[in-house]
Amino acid sequence: MALREILIHPDPRLKKPCTPVEDVTAELRKLADDMLETMYDAPGIGLAAPQVGVSSRLLVMDCVKEEGAPPRPMALINPVITWSSDETSTYEEGCLSIPDQYGDVERPAEVTVTWTDLDGAPQEETFSGLWATCVQHEIDHLDGKLFIDYLKPLRRQMITRKMVKLKRERARV
Ligand code: K1U
Ligand code: ZN
């Protein structure tokens, strides 16, 4: 396994809709393993392929928060939301591509998602709580959408300016 570099907003690769995965190859499994390692290292609860510069519909997540509970690493290939609850929930979201910036985002409280797993088998699950928030945030990444796109334009501009500055500073060292 290897750590991958996480792209920082603004980057055109984070705005581009990703291509469906056609075959579950050894290369794709390696990418999923690397993404999980990169997510745990960050640390984060989710990561989508475009955040590591790969324009494929693959995301990983593990939203187990309870101390001492076993981890639940998940890799979702070609995820599709097939049902969303009318009930919504608001969560103060962050993003590994937008470090140290947070904003309230309202989303459906529960979603049913279908996907293909790393063995090529079809899967379906209804997510709630943080899992539901996270899977929607990550699927947004696959569609080229960031959580700041839900914020007011002025707040979005402020965050983007901060990220431009951060990238300039990081490029200097
Ligand atoms: O997609 C990403 O950028 C990862 C992001 C996922 C996410 C966070 C919050 C709401 C929805 C989706 C993160 O993991 S940001 C880091 C984070 O939330 C976290 C870090 C350490 C412990 C617990 C949470
Ligand atoms: Zn994100």
Render pLDDT for 102-153 as a digit per residue (tens, 0 to 9). 999 999 999 999 999 999 999 999 999 999 999 999 999 999 999 999 999 9
Phi, psi of 87, rounded to the nearest 5 degrees: -65, 140
* Residue 110 appears among annotated catalytic residues: no
- Which atom of ligand 1 is the closest one to the Cα of 44? 14
Nearest to 21 by CA among 63, 80, 91: 80
C-alpha to C-alpha distance for 149 and 105, rounded to whole angstroms? 10
pLDDT at residue 173 greater than cutoff 90: no
Q: Phi/psi class of residue 112: alpha, beta or left (left: φ > 0; alpha: ψ in -120 to 50)?
A: beta
pLDDT at residue 60 greater than cutoff 90: yes
C-alpha to C-alpha distance for 170 and 96, rounded to whole angstroms? 15
Is the peptide bond prior to 17 cis by the omega test (within 30 degrees of 0)? no
Give the closest residue (by CA) to ligand 1 atom 14: 44
Segment 37-44 shows an average pLDDT of 98
Q: How far is the CA of 172 from the centre of ligand 1 (A)?
A: 27
> Residue 65: what pLDDT?
86
> Residue 86: what pLDDT?
98
C-alpha to C-alpha distance for 23 and 147, rounded to whole angstroms? 29
Give the closest residue (by CA) to ligand 1 atom 3: 95
Whether the CB-CB separation of 164 and 98 falls below 8 Å is answered with no
Segment 46-75 shows an average pLDDT of 97
Whether the CB-CB separation of 113 and 122 falls below 8 Å is answered with no
Mean pLDDT, the chain, whole residue set: 98
Tokens 């603004």 belong to: 10
Ligand 1 pocket by C-beta < 6 Å: which residues? Answer: 43-48, 91, 93-97, 133-134, 137-138, 141
Q: What is the pTM of this model?
A: 0.98
Maximum C-alpha span of the chain:
48
